[in-house]
Amino acid sequence: MRPHVLVLAALLLAGCAAPAPAAESPPASPGELRVGGALLHAGGAAGALSLVHLAEGERADVTFPRDVLVLAPDGRLVPGGEPVTIRRGEIAQYLAPYGATSVGVRIAADGETRDETLALGPLRPFVSGERVVELMKVQEERFAHRTPGHENYSKAVAYFGEFFANLSYDVETFRTPLPDVKLPVAVGPSTQSVVSVLGYKRGLEQPDRYIVMGGHFDVVEQTTHGAFDNTGGTMAVLALAEAFAKLNTSRSLVFAAWGGEEDGILGSQAWLAAHPELVPKIDLYVNFDVTGLAWPAPLVAPASVVAATGPDGPVGDALAAHHRAVVADWMKLDAPFVYEGVGHGQLAGAGVNAQSDHTPFMARGIPVLFQFTQDIRAAFTLIHKEADTVENMTAYALHGAEGVGRPLDEAQRREGDQALARSFETQMMAGFYLAVLTDHGAMSSRPASLPALANARS
Ligand SMILES: [Zn+2]
């Protein structure tokens, strides 16, 4: 969707009324701000692309705080801090922080300047966890058992390609032969390969710099759905691809549905090996695997989110510092995150830090982020089990591991799905902000030249 279409959509969503014929300087009603001869309609919801519209007067200059992202005319989100000029009939859009209840703005018109506070409506997240849950249910209905060798593996590959193509992204379907992996079901030689599907969105100004977000779509043989590991992470990547389709970026974006992770991180490793020219140009990789089921879930006892960053040392430390700033300053979220180096957490016995598709990126020195629940041991109730379904994730989001297998009534299912959606969003929004701010150059973790880590495990 192009920005001007988005403007109309946002206007409708925010319920911003068309400018009424001016009465004699009526008092401003809620959502209306008067400064000099200017009348502004201001709407907003937490986490949403929100707007300010100049209904009366010739022009107003609106300055958002630096920690609010403003939609620039070229479709990019840029940090606030500079005045945005709005002329009569025009609107300005800003991304209201995810956890905020209000946003302060400075408005100047007709030589008058006023500081105002815009109250934000309830959460309407730009990157939607509810969309993830919806997409996961599509996978359960249509693409169960996405194990190499099963027919739904290749059907899912086609679905991901169409999904990216529908967003006007360039699609790469990357195949690599399976090494000596014993396939559970042989359905023909054409499926004897690991396939990854990537969607590319070209950057406006630095198209040869890249930000990559990915998650593996394959599931182990012993599960039918693999909802937590890793339908959810893959759908988080698709939902992020949808969100970014409404924006422009300076750098190019790559969204990856990796195959072959469960057989040894085959898809992402092979893709990196086949694209050595891209490696020095990737500024950030964000991995989505076993996403969700952390704060604010489970509701009974919310689990902290582990934010593992790497490579360990200055690059990982810088990325962790950026992540902290994103959560506290940009998302305005008081959520419990635990920071650890990817390699360190692995050595400390956390167990999953370095066992997913970010590892081959990290091994090449690329800044990587991998978020997952600190209760990962409890979450093994689902991982690689037949019980790994959306229904059980919903039950887990309510009651924790105790809830798995417990039937839910309609009200509980709604509450559980909400908690599940919020748990996805917390991790997705952090990745979203890191990508946007890295793109803007505000949060670079990548040193100009990266040390070769050819011997790091991958
Ligand atoms: Zn996984």
- Given 119, 150, 173, the domain boundary residue is 119
Q: What confidence tens digit (pLDDT) does each residue in 386-398 have?
A: 999 999 999 999 9
364 and 395: one domain? yes
**Residue 300: how many CA atoms within 13 Å on its side-chain side?**
12
48 and 137: one domain? no
91 and 182: one domain? no
The Å distance, Cα 196 to ligand 1 centre, comes to: 14
The Å distance, Cα 120 to ligand 1 centre, comes to: 37
146 and 248: one domain? yes
Q: What is the pLDDT of residue 331?
A: 96
Cα–Cα distance list, 214 to 223, 279, 335 (Å): 21, 15, 23
- State pTM to two decimals: 0.90
Per the structure block, which two tokens stand in for 193?
């390969």
The Å distance, Cα 333 to ligand 1 centre, comes to: 27
Domains contained in the chain, number: 2
Domain holding 12, by residue range, is: 3-119
276 and 333: one domain? yes
Q: Are strands 368-373 and 282-287 parallel, antiparallel or unpaired?
A: parallel
115 and 133: one domain? no
Confidence check: pLDDT of 334 > 50: yes
C-beta neighbour count of 52 within 10 angstroms:
27
| CB contact set of 29 (below 8 Å; sequence gap of 6+) | none
| Calpha distance 291→152 (Å, rounded) | 22
CATH number at residue 158: 3.40.630.10
177 and 76: one domain? no
CATH number at residue 53: 2.60.40
- Given 119, 149, 183, the domain boundary residue is 119
Mean confidence (pLDDT) of the chain:
88
The Å distance, Cα 320 to ligand 1 centre, comes to: 22
The Å distance, Cα 223 to ligand 1 centre, comes to: 12
| Calpha distance 71→93 (Å, rounded) | 5
99 and 220: one domain? no
Q: What confidence tens digit (pLDDT) does each residue in 76-123 have?
A: 999 999 999 999 999 999 999 999 999 999 999 999 999 999 999 999
The Å distance, Cα 230 to ligand 1 centre, comes to: 5
Cα 349 versus chain centre, distance: 27
| Calpha distance 283→369 (Å, rounded) | 12
The Å distance, Cα 261 to ligand 1 centre, comes to: 7
Beta bridge partners of 212: 254, 285
**Residue 452: how many CA atoms within 13 Å on its side-chain side?**
3
The Å distance, Cα 54 to ligand 1 centre, comes to: 48
Least confident of 31-45, 111-125, 315-329, 351-365: 351-365
DSSP 92-153: EEEE--TT-SEEEEEEEETTEEEEEEEEPBS---SS-HHHHHHHHHHHHHH-----TTSHHH
**Residue located via tokens 């919020």:** 422
Q: What confidence tens digit (pLDDT) does each residue in 207-222 have?
A: 999 999 999 999 998 8
Q: What confidence tens digit (pLDDT) does each residue in 43-89 have?
A: 899 999 999 999 999 999 999 999 999 999 999 999 999 999 999 99
| Calpha distance 357→264 (Å, rounded) | 9
Q: What number of residues does the chain have?
A: 458
